[in-house]
Structure 1
């Protein structure tokens, strides 16, 4: 995908509406609200430093979580502004709104090199509705949009597609890096290409699985996602989590995930590798079962891949030239159920090729078990990444295309 970027135009002395990816929750530390993690803020520093070098006035626009059109004190952008200021080692002013005369007055008083963080745009119900008049107000006083909100690029909101209807837009360095890295997986992956997928719900990954299956050499399935496929093979899974039938209200159709798994197992049997042993628990004790020989008893559920599967998955990964991991192998938050996810991430560090991790839980696990710099690319988006890997066009990227 060929995008128009900040290096393709003259930004000197411009007032920039910077669409940031700062949808980051907060936590209280010693009575003060702080961002829960700063990975997305760090990812945007090269773009912001470039804009400051061009003597731009930078007005930052983002939403934070889901205040549902209400002002929620704990979801203000003050903690984000404060952390950005620390990382940039530069002042970041804060506005108490994202539109209106007081905001415009602050923008008029800005000098080249100044940064202003606007308030959470989701405090307005018009944001999610992609209200055009609201989008127009968000653009007042600015010359151009620099778009780095890749994690929000699949949303049709006033602060994504809406603002792009009223001002010219270019991609920032962070967004370009995400698009280039993920495009490489779809267009030019070095073989063998192994896709490792886990997590809880197949509905979250169904489209990306469908799109990637013809491209990959192997797909290793762990997490609760594996339960659906194992049940499709006729295994008795006890009380293990298996996602219920999905009802698409718009299409007025039901989707039986076990039936779907059975269909793709028949079509891609040689590519799909399922666990051969799993860690199960009744809520009190844990033990390992050979899933090919034993049933998961009632009252017990699978919570991680077992040691034999860990070795099998690791062997596939180490022999690959491209590896994509999307989703943990088990309930890694529990100290007794970390080994499946840890083993996969450890094997990826030995790959002599390209390694990509994607999704919030996956990134959290990778950060817990080592250095994120050990991987070729860490995608900081969740839904947007999965939709991109599904081959879908993300609406906010369309105006950025050359």
Structure 2
């Protein structure tokens, strides 16, 4: 696909789909700007090249209705501050008023459109709506990996009606690092898969069995695997309706020669709450009245010994209830360890990205993805609609 560096952007109307779906506090202030920071290189490239930049994003789930709580105005103000230049705010994302603002844009100026999801047609991938968005653009740039698994108008439909398409730097990086890690990895390739439920990652686990050399399983989803091995996991979260799935996955891993590592000890407590009494116990000695809420110190050392000898590591999903101290230690310890390794280390989005940032290791690993669901779908081996549409448009133009 075409990239920003291959285009002449001077005076062009550059419609850039970004992901400014960032958290805001009660005062409507940005509390985490990771996704904004991720697209700054693309924004600066267009501005410095003299392009007329039109930024488009969604925020939250307004369900096709205008709602002040979901306005992008605070994001525009924040972006203006960190760029040190004005960011105009449009009253909508389509219509005569928006078209007038776009027509007045000068080279190097920025216009932020209002929330795309104020229109139900966005999520419906409505063709007429897609055409209205495309009418604003000479060039379409997708720099919103986190929504590229959605066939929405601003991600998918618009590409059918613009003369030129390209990937932004952030999207380019997401594809590059994923390819290096999963399609052409240096081996051994170790996958760390955590999180709450096996059911949400069946497709991921099945796909990884044909790619990984080692598979580390943690988080609450490990409880289901432990239970099928006859372990007592107390009152921990278990998906009893996926016991057969877990059994089959373990058997297939054995057949394919993929070594699976499960917790050998755990941090347990009677409830998920800071300040509650905790115990470190071997996995064979989990009290029936307790919950497994983190991996234990022996497990951490085993995981580290595997990771130390790996050339490529991909991590998606925390190893414990890291949001509630003291159940963060397993996740944070592994995050810090990854930052010390001479290996390609790619962190999946969502909770994994948040945990690595909180552990202070985000700038020490190779790459932290901005996409949760999109990253998961790539791990499942799926083609993302937004990327497929971008490739098709690039080839056509």
- Is this contact kept in 2: 1:169–1:399, CA < 8 A? no
Partner-residue secondary structure (3-state), 1:111: coil
Match of 1:241 among 222, 226, 237: 237
Report the CA distance shift for 1:214/1:296 in structure 2 as closer, same or farther (over 3 A).
Answer: farther
Other-structure match for 2:382: 392
1:350 deviates by 2.4
Any residues of structure 2 matched to 1:220-299 within 5 Å, and which? 220-243=216-239, 245=241, 257-269=242-254, 271-283=259-271, 284-291=276-283, 293-297=284-288, 299=289
Any residues of structure 2 matched to 1:371-386 within 5 Å, and which? 371-386=361-376
1:40 deviates by 1.0
1:204 deviates by 2.6
Partner-residue secondary structure (3-state), 1:194: strand
- Is this contact kept in 2: 1:319–1:351, CA < 8 A? no
Other-structure match for 1:303: 293
- Is this contact kept in 2: 1:208–1:389, CA < 8 A? yes
- Is this contact kept in 2: 1:276–1:309, CA < 8 A? yes
Question: Partners in 2 of 1:62 and 1:321 — Cα distance?
Answer: 36
1:277 deviates by 0.6
Other-structure match for 1:103: 98
Match of 1:195 among 178, 191, 196: 191
Question: Partners in 2 of 1:21 and 1:330 — Cα distance?
Answer: 28
- Is this contact kept in 1: 2:177–2:367, CA < 8 A? yes
- Is this contact kept in 2: 1:220–1:313, CA < 8 A? yes
Report the CA distance shift for 1:330/1:166 in structure 2 as closer, same or farther (over 3 A).
Answer: same
Match of 1:318 among 308, 318, 322: 308
Mapped pair 1:204 → 2:200: yes
- Is this contact kept in 2: 1:211–1:390, CA < 8 A? yes
- Is this contact kept in 1: 2:11–2:106, CA < 8 A? no
- Is this contact kept in 2: 1:26–1:75, CA < 8 A? no
Partner-residue secondary structure (3-state), 2:29: strand
Other-structure match for 1:248: none
For structure 1, the 5+ residue unaligned runs are: 246-256
Match of 1:21 among 10, 19, 35: 19
- Is this contact kept in 2: 1:26–1:74, CA < 8 A? no
- Is this contact kept in 2: 1:314–1:343, CA < 8 A? no
- Is this contact kept in 2: 1:15–1:143, CA < 8 A? yes
1:333-365 deviations in Å (ceiling 9; x for gaps):
122111111121122122111111112211111
Question: Partners in 2 of 1:191 and 1:213 — Cα distance?
Answer: 14
Any residues of structure 2 matched to 1:107-126 within 5 Å, and which? 107-126=102-121
1:93 deviates by 0.6
1:210-231 deviations in Å (ceiling 9; x for gaps):
2122211111111001011111
- Is this contact kept in 2: 1:25–1:75, CA < 8 A? no
Other-structure match for 1:251: none
Other-structure match for 2:347: 357
Question: Partners in 1 of 2:30 and 2:268 — Cα distance?
Answer: 35
Report the CA distance shift for 1:296/1:162 in structure 2 as closer, same or farther (over 3 A).
Answer: farther
For structure 2, the 5+ residue unaligned runs are: none
Report the CA distance shift for 1:82/1:6 in structure 2 as closer, same or farther (over 3 A).
Answer: same
Question: Partners in 2 of 1:385 and 1:64 — Cα distance?
Answer: 19
Mapped pair 1:369 → 2:365: no
1:136 deviates by 1.1
Match of 1:12 among 10, 13, 18: 10
State the number of aligned residues: 384
Question: Partners in 1 of 2:228 and 2:316 — Cα distance?
Answer: 21
- Is this contact kept in 2: 1:238–1:296, CA < 8 A? yes
Partner-residue secondary structure (3-state), 1:204: helix
Mapped pair 1:37 → 2:28: no
- Is this contact kept in 1: 2:339–2:361, CA < 8 A? no
